[in-house]
């Protein structure tokens, strides 16, 4: 879905912070320092909505001129530092740029390229372009990978097996599909497990899931797309406000800040939880719990895209955080 930038999200309305706030908040493209000793690390490779920014069709976006203002589609990487294994959560259309970032943060110990791009597996949330279209770079026109495990729910697996060009990746062995089951943990490694959780979303081609990533020390939820928290509670018996206290990190859908981003559009037809509503839902929780939220998957119209915006200031003042490409989180310090 292409969602166009509007004047409300322009620089005039967004550069509203004080110099102190600019100092306090992370930049849009920050790459945080590596944890001193970490056996399992989670890295934010992208935090934008599927199409990123600058978005096609809007020449006024400053990111056309300033690469530091770019957004790539939401994706995480999990690095096992002791084994060299690396896993992706979602394969965005910006996969090339994101793997280049990952290689900067996790350089190869050898001067020769890593086999299979250094990927030990990919976990896909659903079949919208920002979350699976990066698989195209694994084919023979590009990387020509061999048997990268791609973990997918049943409908998504059938979609990839029966629709081109994705079926060619399967036939040529560039990827190897691995079936997931709702709320059934799978353990790619003794150091972590991954459990898919079905969520309500526009499921034209596949189910939609979020992923619970668990290590012996910490638990992280990656949930970049959902229609509403109310529907999740009603249809899947899961309440975000009950789940959050048991998590250490929660990367949550932040596609839109509020209902004023797209003048002339009926935003009720684009049912993502608004950032302002999610903050209201969780505001009664202790500050120590609210700070576990990392808003992700923000549209190019969303003012939290800009670290200097008033909306960003509100998020931090209310005790929440915003995911930025390059953020690093240690999930397991090891023994």
| Number of domains composing the chain | 1
Give me the pLDDT at residue 32, please.
64
Cis status of the peptide bond prior to 54, with omega within 30 of 0: yes
Query: Which pLDDT score, from 0 to 100, does residue 2 have?
Result: 35
Instruction: Record the tokens describing residue 170, joined without a space.
Output: 């399967």
Residue 1 in any domain: the answer is no
Q: Are 276 and 252 contacting, i.e. CB atoms less than 8 angstroms apart?
A: no
- The total of other beta-carbon atoms located within 10 Å of residue 198's CB is 17
Residue 254 counted as domain residue: yes
Please state, in angstroms and rounded to a whole number, the distance separating the CA atoms of residues 167 and 134. Answer: 14
**From the first residue on, what is the mean pLDDT of each consecutive set of 10 residues in the chain (335 residues)?**
36 32 44 74 98 92 94 98 95 97 92 91 98 98 97 98 97 98 96 98 96 98 97 96 97 93 80 95 97 97 96 98 98 88
Residue 2 lies in a domain: no
**39 domain residue, yes or no:** yes
The string of DSSP letters for 139-159 reads STTTT----EEEEE-HHHHHH
pLDDT at 8 (0 to 100): 35
**Rounded (10°) angle between helices 275-282 and 310-317:** 10
In this structure, what CATH number is given to the domain that contains residue 26?
3.60.15.10
CB of 185 within 8 A of CB of 114?
no
Q: Rounded to two decimals, what is the model's pTM? A: 0.89
From CA 60, how far away is CA 94, in angstroms rounded?
Answer: 21
User: Residue 89 forms beta bridges with which residues?
Assistant: 76, 123
Output the pLDDT for position 37.
83
- The two tokens of residue 10 are 């322009």
* Beta carbons of 301 and 262 less than 8 angstroms apart: yes
User: Smallest Cα–Cα separation from 44: which of 68, 77, 72?
Assistant: 77
Residue 334 and residue 280: Cα distance in Å, rounded?
36
Q: In whole angstroms, what is the distance from residue 280 CA to residue 283 CA?
A: 5
Block residue for tokens 């944890």: 35
Give the pLDDT confidence score for residue 23 in this predicted structure.
32
Domain span at 291: 7-332
CA-closest candidate to residue 226, choices 212, 243, 240: 240
Structural domain includes residue 57: yes
């Amino acid at each position: 879905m292409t969602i166009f930038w509007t004047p409300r999200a322009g620089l005039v309305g967004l550069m509203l912070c004080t110099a102190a706030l600019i100092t306090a908040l992370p930049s849009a493209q920050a790459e945080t320092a590596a944890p001193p000793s970490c056996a399992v690390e989670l890295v934010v490779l992208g935090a934008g909505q599927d199409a990123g920014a600058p978005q096609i069709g809007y020449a006024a976006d400053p990111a056309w001129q300033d690469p530091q203002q770019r957004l790539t589609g939401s994706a995480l990487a999990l690095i096992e530092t002791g084994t060299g294994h690396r896993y992706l959560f979602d394969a965005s259309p910006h996969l090339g740029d994101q793997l280049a970032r990952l290689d900067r943060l996790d350089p190869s110990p050898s001067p020769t390229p890593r086999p299979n791009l250094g990927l030990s597996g990919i976990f896909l949330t659903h079949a919208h372009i920002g979350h699976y279209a990066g698989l195209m770079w694994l084919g023979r026109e590009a990387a020509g990978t061999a048997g990268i495990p791609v973990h997918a729910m049943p409908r998504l697996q059938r979609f990839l097996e029966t629709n081109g060009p994705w079926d060619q990746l399967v036939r040529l062995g560039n990827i190897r599909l691995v079936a997931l089951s709702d709320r059934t943990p799978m353990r790619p490694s003794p150091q972590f497990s991954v459990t898919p959780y079905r969520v309500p979303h526009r499921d034209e081609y596949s189910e939609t899931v979020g992923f619970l990533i668990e290590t012996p020390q910490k638990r992280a939820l990656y949930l970049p797309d959902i229609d509403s928290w109310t529907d999740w509670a009603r249809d899947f018996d899961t309440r975000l406000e009950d789940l959050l206290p048991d998590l250490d990190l929660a990367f949550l859908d932040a596609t839109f800040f509020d209902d004023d981003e797209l003048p002339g559009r009926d935003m009720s037809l684009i049912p993502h939880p608004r950032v302002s509503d999610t903050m209201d839902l969780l505001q009664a929780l202790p500050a120590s719990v609210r700070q576990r939220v990392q808003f992700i998957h923000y549209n190019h119209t969303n003012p939290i895209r800009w670290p200097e915006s008033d909306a960003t200031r509100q998020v931090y003042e209310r005790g929440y955080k915003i995911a930025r490409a390059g953020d690093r989180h240690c999930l397991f310090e090891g023994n």
